[in-house]
Chain A
Amino acid sequence: MHDLQELKEMRAEMTGRRPEGLRSARDLLLAEARSGGRRRWATWTHDIRPRIRPRATLIAGTAVAVSAAITAALLAGSPGHSAPPAGPPSGTPVLTVAYVLGRAASAAAAAHQPVPRPGQYIYVSSVATELSLEGGSNGQLDAWLTTTDRRIWQSASGYRAGVLQRVARGQQKLPWGVTPPPAPGGRVQWDPLSALACPGAAPPQGSYAFLATLPTAVPQLQAWIYGHKEGSQPANEQVWTDIGDLLRETLVPPKLAAALFKVAATIPGARVVRNATDAAGRSGIAVARYDSGFKADMELIFKPGTYQLLGERSVLAKPVQGEGPAGTVVQSTAQLRTSVASRLPHFTSSVPQSKLPTGPGC
């Protein structure tokens, strides 16, 4: 490379700026990281545990047999002698997955909810309990549960920026974990959210407008979900998780929500959990499906009686080394209020206004 020495020296006096000198670029990344983290958290162990295995989109199109087992509806007045030991007393309905999801579908279809206009925002307030990780001095990850109040405004069209407000509520020690550091109690954090696409582009995934384009007939929706799932988990596991992702922290068109519950009802291997508590402490009835990547049951929790979706929960189904015994709740959510807003709230952010993420850079 001797002949390139002159080129090598050209502009060699230019130095790169240190990260502190690249503050706006770094802030841009962090704003995106915070908004990017709002989706798919339920899949975190899928993503982290098999991390050597590259994520690959599997070829779907698997015809999903509608299980005869789950088409069995409510078995009313089950005779006492056939009830399982921990089952309900004689005369009480035995809840099946099909029944719970069927009721949820009916409730969703009948829900009166506003239809946002493209320029409006979907507002959702919720509580989320998530696993926090911190690098310990020995290179191991320390972990505990963090509870956060979330209020999010997302552009209905996906063409506008939104904002997420997070208020730290507290940190709980995991049975197996370290004592968490003192929580930054009540700290309010505003994170700008990028627009997802340029005006005129197809409705971007993650927006209400995109949800409005999805088929609401069960076979078509089922084909779409199995065809668009990502990740290398078994198809049914992934689709169960994907359905949770689609329902989380957004407004879902009633017919779509109903169809999603019906598609969930076709996934074999789910069961009913009679007493599940969401992140806000509300107890409900859950449908749960074991997830081998997570070694946990992934639960959708419904309000008893009305079968409105309350939230979600992940519960270890077996003891996991370093994570805790079976029954440990490792994450949960509670959706509290959903509405349509015409404008974003006033907020202050550490990100300068001029550097608000514009997303696709239209």
Chain B
Amino acid sequence: MNESVLLSWDDNPRDPPARPPRAGMRRGASPKSRPDDATLIALSVVEPEVFAAIFDRHATEIHRYAARRLGDGVAEDVVGETFLVAFRRRERYDQAYPDARPWLYGIATNMISRHRQAEVRFYRALARTGVDPVIESPADDVIARVSAAGQRRGIAAALARLSASDRNTLLLVVWAELSYDEAASALRIPIGTVRSRLNRARRKMREALDGGRLTQSTEESDHA
């Protein structure tokens, strides 16, 4: 890190990347008075390079989410665009939210939406062939990309059929593990809308799974 990013605290990059503090975990609750995201973003308004700390905290998580939707390569571009846009909007960050994850996921969702056709094409390919084009593996190891569970093909087909807004909501909750509140904040929609979108999406997923059981029952036993 030759970057002259100035602040240092107990933000150990060796920590497991998975779970930054959740919303509601205010400053006092985190170890060694690690500043919360809102504080860093406010500081970055005057010391722009401080924003790199937001990147270091959350880029891995955003990258994983984007990679699950679009594959590893595109995901890096999504991460780059997401943090650029976030940086440019940092002055408007709502200081009422100590945790920036919902905000970042909301921006990432917009960036991912630019690749909607590719995303849907991948789901369809998985549904059709059982090979997941998004999962990177050595070319000679095609087997690793073949989904063990026939159900996954049904799920991929269902994901491909969901409306973009339902899919965004569903995946923010299931893959990004945002709470309903956080998903609502990320997508700037009322929490009631999150619930109704999720209900609709879950119904479609269930239908897809039931269909999968009927048509691919033999493969399903592998998965169990």
| Chain A residues within CB distance 8 Å of chain B | 1, 3-4, 6-8, 10-19, 22, 24-26, 28-30, 32-34, 36-37, 41, 44-45, 47-48, 51-55, 132-135, 139, 350, 357, 361
Contact = CB atoms under 8 A, between A and B. Distances in A.
Given A4-B174, A22-B79, A51-B42, A135 B9 contact: yes
B83 A6 contact: no
Interface in B64-96: 64-65, 67-68, 72, 76-77, 79-81, 83-84, 87-88, 91-92, 94-95
A28 B55 CA distance: 11
Given A22-B63, A55-B91, A350-B2, A11 B9 contact: no
B70 to A, nearest CB: 11
B3 A22 contact: no
Contacts of A132: 6
B47 to A, nearest CB: 6
Given A25-B80, A32-B84, A18 B51 contact: no
B64 A16 contact: yes
Contacts of B17: 16, 18
A15 B62 CA distance: 10
B208 to A, nearest CB: 10
Contacts of B60: 16-19, 22
B24 interface: no
B7 interface: yes
Interface stretch (B99-107, B148-156, B184-192): B148-156
A57 B88 CA distance: 16
A3 B202 CA distance: 8
A355 to B, nearest CB: 8
B52 A7 contact: no
A48 B45 contact: yes
B163 interface: no
Contacts of A361: 81
Contact of B59 (A3, A26, A134): A26
Contacts of B132: 11
Given A14-B68, A139-B9, A6 B79 contact: no
Contact of A15 (B56, B64, B155): B64
A26 B94 contact: no
A168 B174 CA distance: 48
A132 B56 CA distance: 21
Given A36-B87, A51-B95, A16 B48 contact: no
Given A17-B63, A52-B95, A55-B92, A25 B205 contact: no
Contacts of B149: 6
Contacts of A10: 68, 152, 155-156
12 contacts: A4-B174, A7-B159, A8-B174, A10-B155, A16-B67, A22-B55, A25-B83, A29-B80, A36-B48, A48-B46, A133-B6, A134-B6
A192 B59 CA distance: 22
Contacts of A6: 149, 151-152, 155, 209
Contacts of A52: 95
A29 B51 contact: yes
A3 B205 contact: yes
B8 interface: yes
A7 B209 CA distance: 10
